[in-house]
Structure 1
Amino acid sequence: MNAEHHLHLVSDSTGETVNSVARACVAQFEGIEPQEHVWTLVRTRGHVEKIVDNIRREPGPVIYTMVDEDLRRLLEKNCHAMGVPCVAVLDPVIHALGLHYERTSAGRPGKQHTLDNEYFDRIEAMNFALAHDDGQMYEDLSAADVALVGVSRTSKTPTCVYLAQRGIRAANVPYVPGVPLPDALFRLERTLIIGLTKDPARLVDIRRSRLRVMNDQEEAGKYADIDAVTEEVKEARRLYARHHWPVIDVTRRSIEETAAAILTLYQRHRAKAAE
């Protein structure tokens, strides 16, 4: 991080939204890694005044999500006096939605984190992903919305966890050469099954790194051998083709990008099932 660049992120809730927006935007500027000052659950004048004092000591752009008009004006007024940018990132979106739906914003901090049915669905989906990680609990695999099949190190677990945050029940089923996949997988009717694949050379690099961390080089065997891994990936691809499962190559994808592709496939799958 560059001590010369400061970025203040202010939120009246958990700060997840403003943090995500800020990082997505900063990533567009090469060579800039500002020191982030994160302020969450900001709901009093005293808290805003404390933040203003910090901005004065370490000036830098301010990005915020706050709904209380008095607190917003207090923050903006002080930022204007100091000559630092102060941006309310949700305002354009809320304004556009309000015009379209002909409604007024509720103006409640953290409303997206309300303990409603959607929240509990996400918690249930998270519990499901953890319970069905790496081939566990095949007996109720039919309860999954999505089942991810892939060789080791194709990011099955983190992708399932990410999907759970979107309320999707995701299970992951490892493909291991010589080990039969569970019969329950082939009996699924409602569940969308997706095969994950990755460039063998990249897989070998990741697997060797994992073995080094585990200090388990002697047990590497075919697990990190390029020829064996190449054949392993080919076998998995042939399996996917036989069963007409959609395939996603995760070699150059982040977890978020892989999850986005899965969600698109899942929406199509649901639409087709509803026909």
Structure 2
Amino acid sequence: MALELFVVSDFTGETAEHVARAAASQFGAKKAELRRFRYVNNDERGREVLEEALRSQAVIICTLVDHALRRWFVEEAEKLNLPIVDILGPILKILENRLGCPPLETPGLLRRLDEEYFRRVKAVEFAIKCDDGRGAELYEEADLVILGVSRTSKTPLSMYLAHKGVMVANIPLVPEADPPKGLFDLPPERVIGLTINTEKLSSIRKERLRILGLDADLSNYAQPERLERELDFSVAIMRRVGCKIFDVTNRAIEEVAQEVLDYLRV
């Protein structure tokens, strides 16, 4: 049977869960099973969790910010010979000693719904509305508009940047369709282009066709001649806009995103 890991928190337990999953992953799949106990904020609820852990002979991983509750919970677990990992306790103690002041002991501060949080939510909603050429009427509100041919990671990059609070729209470029007229009225510093070498793009598109159950040899979608035409067309549009162009060949989304963020801060 799998070892049970009890994730115990006085809020949502995301921190403890991430740590537990990271540790459990080192032992392969199905070796450990997580059970979550959220909003454990009093002795009565804590006692219920400990009794359940004792019956299951579980390992407890907790993130309790209230000092008195945390100390009581850890001591009770040790009395029952239950293995327990107190994630926050040692860190809070060190910070308290070095900073010379006690912690606030307020659950959920990390996830408080503040202005920054709502800004990110708004940006994600905007990216969804303006994905793949949609929402042209909203482009003027965008912090950034991304151009590129199919399979240059426009959507993943848009969503990554949106989670950083950037309002992003993306537009696919194909020779058979004119780009939105409003594109050329945007300030070029608010537009970027993504390009990629033909060989890599062909490989990506062939894999996409394979996943869809289609024969890449029978499709124009991944043929070098077609790709060169698309890429030449896209670069011509980007130069007409006057935007910065990023080569995404063999590069991770995170790497490209960081360069784009650095560019936007200039």
> What band does the TM-score fall into relative to the shorter chain?
0.7 to 0.9
Q: What residue identity is the alignment partner of 2:86? A: V
Normalised by the size of structure 1, how large is the TM-score?
A: 0.72
Contact in 1 for aligned 2:65/2:88 (Cα 8 Å):
no
CA separation in 1, counterparts of 2:195 and 2:96? 40
**SS class of match (1:200):** helix
2:259 alignment partner in structure 1: 265
Aligned partner (choices 114, 117, 141) of residue 115 of structure 2 = 117
2:85 alignment partner in structure 1: 86
Cα deviation code 1:114-144 (max 9, x no counterpart): 2322222122212211221211122332322
Contact in 1 for aligned 2:146/2:171 (Cα 8 Å):
yes
User: Residues 160 and 62 (structure 1 numbering): CA distance in 2 closer, same or farther, change over 3 Å?
Assistant: farther
1:202 alignment partner in structure 2: 204
1:247 alignment partner in structure 2: 247
User: Residues 118 and 50 (structure 1 numbering): CA distance in 2 closer, same or farther, change over 3 Å?
Assistant: same
1:132 alignment partner in structure 2: 130
CA separation in 1, counterparts of 2:113 and 2:145? 27
Contact in 2 for aligned 1:146/1:168 (Cα 8 Å):
yes
1:23 Cα deviation from its structure 2 partner: 3.2
Q: Which is greater in Rg?
A: 2
**SS class of match (2:21):** helix
Contact in 2 for aligned 1:146/1:194 (Cα 8 Å):
no
Contact in 2 for aligned 1:8/1:39 (Cα 8 Å):
yes
1:1-275 matches, within 5 Å, as 3-27=1-25, 29=26, 31-33=28-30, 34-80=32-78, 81-89=80-88, 92=91, 104-186=102-184, 187-191=186-190, 193-195=192-194, 197=196, 199-209=201-211, 211-212=212-213, 221-223=219-221, 225-227=222-224, 230-231=227-228, 234-235=231-232, 238=235, 242=239, 243-249=243-249, 253=252, 258-259=253-254, 261-262=256-257, 264-272=258-266
CA separation in 2, counterparts of 1:98 and 1:207? 56
CA separation in 1, counterparts of 2:233 and 2:24? 38
Contact in 2 for aligned 1:148/1:171 (Cα 8 Å):
yes
CA separation in 2, counterparts of 1:192 and 1:60? 53
CA separation in 2, counterparts of 1:30 and 1:161? 32
User: Residues 188 and 71 (structure 1 numbering): CA distance in 2 closer, same or farther, change over 3 Å?
Assistant: same
Contact in 1 for aligned 2:67/2:105 (Cα 8 Å):
no
CA separation in 2, counterparts of 1:96 and 1:182? 56
CA separation in 1, counterparts of 2:56 and 2:107? 27
User: Residues 79 and 153 (structure 1 numbering): CA distance in 2 closer, same or farther, change over 3 Å?
Assistant: farther
CA separation in 1, counterparts of 2:133 and 2:89? 41
Cα deviation code 1:142-200 (max 9, x no counterpart): 32233333443454434433433332212222233433333444433442525265653
User: Residues 269 and 239 (structure 1 numbering): CA distance in 2 closer, same or farther, change over 3 Å?
Assistant: same
Q: What residue identity is the alignment partner of 2:262? A: R
1:86 Cα deviation from its structure 2 partner: 1.0
1:71 Cα deviation from its structure 2 partner: 2.6
CA separation in 1, counterparts of 2:206 and 2:83? 48
* Deviates most, 178-187 or 238-247: 238-247
Q: What's the Cα RMSD here?
A: 3.7
Contact in 1 for aligned 2:54/2:82 (Cα 8 Å):
no
User: Residues 95 and 76 (structure 1 numbering): CA distance in 2 closer, same or farther, change over 3 Å?
Assistant: closer
**SS class of match (1:202):** helix
1:69 Cα deviation from its structure 2 partner: 1.9
CA separation in 2, counterparts of 1:127 and 1:201? 31
**SS class of match (2:248):** strand
Normalised by the size of structure 2, how large is the TM-score?
A: 0.74
Contact in 2 for aligned 1:18/1:89 (Cα 8 Å):
no
CA separation in 2, counterparts of 1:148 and 1:235? 17
Unaligned regions of 5+ residues in structure 1, if any? none
**SS class of match (1:246):** strand
